Amino acid sequence: MLIPLKTEEPTIKAPVITWLLITANILVFVYQKITIMSNGMDLAMVYGAIPYELTRAVDMPPLSPYSPYLSLLTYMFLHGGIVHILGNMLFLNTFGPNLEDMMGHIKFLLFYVLCGLVSVLVYVLPNFSSVAPLVGASGAIAGVMGAHLRVLPGTRIRCLFFIFPISLPALVILVPWIVLQFYSVFTHAQSNIAWIAHIGGFIFGMFMVRKFRNRWFFKRKLEVIQ
């Protein structure tokens, strides 16, 4: 098992948006678990992205005090379990900082949210009658990963290979990852993982990253992206 831990590429500015996103996801996850323990209600059923609701503009019980379309944003901050959120936050912490450094804080946040929106739409289209809520930051993070592959494929990433620390180029991690997502879709892997949402976010991030790049790249990174 290969687990990415962090980038070895230093950043000029602190990745405050990446840190804030990680903090927000963790706080929401804790609150999500508290609500389950206190009254048995999972916020995923209220604020998760449910294709049936989104394609029919209805709100099924348990009812939300807001429009069901708000779930296009809120689903990104909900998770199915500790392994789910831990994996997502590790990937965000690994691939977010350098991309945020290149884009700037506000552009990075906008890019992250757009990747999450695209990924949920890609998921909803072929699953328009599903009543199962989609939750997780995976689609947005997949967009960050796709962008990272496009602009910083050679960045060294510190990883754990089982229990052994190793350093690998981002390319070596990201290409097998996206190949696995396609394989899982085409083989109809039986899982509650939204593989197609990952693919949608990844492709959107990879092809849209140039639209979000900062004018003031420092020289070495500018040479990589062009």
Interval 78-128: pLDDT, tens: 999 999 999 999 999 999 999 999 999 999 999 999 999 999 999 999 999
* CATH code for the domain in which residue 188 is found: 1.20.1540.10
Give the per-residue pLDDT at 223.
38
Q: Which residues are catalytic?
A: 138, 198
Among 151, 88, 143, 106, smallest CA distance to 121 is for 143
Give the per-residue pLDDT at 59.
92
The predicted model scores a pTM of 0.91
Domain that holds residue 10: 2-225
User: Please, which pLDDT band fits residue 214 given cuts at 50, 70 and 90?
Assistant: low
- Number of domains into which the chain is organized: 1
Give the per-residue pLDDT at 220.
43
User: Please, which pLDDT band fits residue 192 given cuts at 50, 70 and 90?
Assistant: confident
- Please give the mean pLDDT across all residues of the chain: 91
User: Please, which pLDDT band fits residue 71 given cuts at 50, 70 and 90?
Assistant: very high
